[in-house]
Structure 1
Amino acid sequence: MTKAELTPELQNPIGVEEEWTPPMPPTDLIFDDGEPLESNRHRIAMNVLIAAVHEAFAGRQDYFTGGNMFVYFSSEQARNRDFKGPDFFVTLDVDGTKERQGWVVWEEEGRYPNVIVEFLSPSTAREDLGHKKDIYERVFRLPDYFVYDPFAPDSLRGWRLTGQGYEELPKDDRGWLWCNSLGFWLGTWEGTLQQETATWLRFFDGEGSLILLPEELAKIERQRAEEALSELEALKARLREKGIDLESL
């Protein structure tokens, strides 16, 4: 006779209450759904925001930023595979050096992202403005949520969490929105990035200056070096006119 066939009294003859343990969260999590981003522009737009945060927070290790990654927040959601990750997010006051394939809330001491940006497309807009937004508001209690369609320059919208739920943020006279969690403006910028010209979503500091990307900073440094070399050559030429040859000194 198996234990399951015994009466409750025989299964536990001395009447000791068995300690209940909660079910373990899933360990076979999927971190790649195999689906590419909507377009090359969507991919660039995501990477631009990630790179800007890294540049603005250079030297800090108390944050994590990522994109197109799963955020797992419940065992049920993990089992059903019913929720895809945000296009861009930032979580503050965490160990940024920890290796992660995705964001698993129960492995992060219950921490949820502070900021999320979703890049809209015809196939995702309804979800991003409906079901996802509702989860971010009710479950994540996400402080700052933004949406933007890289193919529609006037599509930027944002919400800030209040005690009554999400309150839509007003744009300033530049059409920008303030991201309180990061202390940055989120606005549009026209230009060419990675060989594609578009109106991009960019971060600006509190003074309104564009947070430059590594490649933009490198370009400025090259220009400064070229200008310095040009000034040096001009100085050498003027000295040679006066009979002074620096090369012979």
Structure 2
Amino acid sequence: MTVSTVDLKITWEKLPDDFILEEQPLQNIDQPLLAAALREILEIAGLILEGTLAAPNLGICATLDNKLVIKAPDLFYARNVQSLSSQEIRRSYTPNLEGEIPAVVMEFLSASSYDEYSNKPTYPPGKWFFYRQVLRVPIYALFEPAAGVLEVYQLDSSGDYQIQQPDLNGRYWIAGIGLFLGVWQGTKAERTGYWLRWWDESGEMLLWGAEMVERERQRADRLAAQLRAAGMEPEA
């Protein structure tokens, strides 16, 4: 499948089976933890079903003027994705060939981040240019974990990213997922700091699995205390 722009020929081709992917070390441990935490909530909420791809650090492929470009965002979410056979392992994702353009792409910034804002059009293009001009991703989110700063950009009718303003609660509506995205401060497992979290339309924060277990434990403890106060012993 080929799409032509004024200066660029874009071809959507599957990554060759014999293509050797570069192995780049993570810049810090925050990146996989943040991505896994966001993805966990989506899975619990029933938003990762067959045909949905919510993938951390997976290469998104496009061929520009016959040159393969691969960008691996910290997390992206796409719908109507073709299923693989039981013998296949997904090594990459090619939009328009294997499924829809991602509804949202997220990058978690480090102290040395620069490519996430790069509008460099020449090969290899910067991420900003790739997500905006090549993929035309509707929502591009940039999160700086150390400072807890979230920037959300939306693609406008002219094909440019426009920074969005949060609502009164400091959150951003992500239409392609149907949830609000915002910043939360606290502890999960071994990490304490700023996190990205999901909220539903009513403003209720969606919980991680461990939080749901703790909530049920507290509920059971309250019920047991009420029964004892009424002279009844709760069942074991």
Q: TM exceeds 0.5? A: yes
Q: Does residue 16 of structure 2 align to residue 26 of structure 1?
A: yes
- Identify the range of structure 1 (99-108 vs 215-224) with the bigger mean alpha-carbon deviation: 99-108
Contact 2:179 2:200 in 1 (8 A): yes
1:106-145 matches, within 5 Å, as 107-109=97-99, 111-124=100-113, 126-130=114-118, 131-145=126-140
Counterpart position of 1:175? 170
TM-score by length of 2: 0.78
- Cα drift, residue 107 of structure 1: 5.0
Tell me the distance in 2 between the aligned counterparts of 1:140 and 1:221: 42
Tell me the distance in 1 between the aligned counterparts of 2:70 and 2:50: 28
- Identify the range of structure 1 (51-60 vs 164-173) with the bigger mean alpha-carbon deviation: 51-60
Counterpart position of 1:162? 156
| Residues 1:36 and 1:227: Cα distance change in structure 2 (over 3 Å) | farther
Tell me the distance in 2 between the aligned counterparts of 1:25 and 1:224: 50
Tell me the distance in 2 between the aligned counterparts of 1:152 and 1:206: 26
Tell me the distance in 1 between the aligned counterparts of 2:202 and 2:25: 36
1:46-195 matches, within 5 Å, as 46-57=35-46, 60-74=49-63, 76-78=66-68, 83-95=70-82, 100-105=90-95, 107-109=97-99, 111-124=100-113, 126-130=114-118, 131-153=126-148, 155-165=149-159, 166-195=161-190
Secondary structure in structure 2 of the residue aligned to 1:156: strand
Tell me the distance in 2 between the aligned counterparts of 1:176 and 1:229: 37
1:214-225 matches, within 5 Å, as 214-225=209-220
The percentage of counterpart residues that share the same residue type is: 28
Counterpart position of 1:37? 26
- Cα drift, residue 34 of structure 1: 2.8
Tell me the distance in 1 between the aligned counterparts of 2:156 and 2:196: 25
Structure 1, residues 193-232: CA drift from partner, whole Å, max 9, x if none? Answer: 1122112111111122111111211221222223233333
- Cα drift, residue 233 of structure 1: 3.5
- Cα drift, residue 128 of structure 1: 0.4
Tell me the distance in 1 between the aligned counterparts of 2:67 and 2:106: 21
- Cα drift, residue 84 of structure 1: 3.3
Which protein is richer in helix relative to its size? 1
Tell me the distance in 2 between the aligned counterparts of 1:96 and 1:123: 36
Structure 1, residues 10-30: CA drift from partner, whole Å, max 9, x if none? Answer: xxxxxxxxxxxxx99633234
Which protein is richer in strand relative to its size? 2
TM-score by length of 1: 0.74
What CA RMSD, in Å, does the superposition of the two structures yield over aligned residues?
2.8
Tell me the distance in 2 between the aligned counterparts of 1:40 and 1:24: 30
- Cα drift, residue 77 of structure 1: 4.6
Tell me the distance in 1 between the aligned counterparts of 2:26 and 2:14: 32
Tell me the distance in 1 between the aligned counterparts of 2:175 and 2:167: 14
Structure 2 residue identity aligned to 1:42: Q
Structure 2 residue identity aligned to 1:148: F
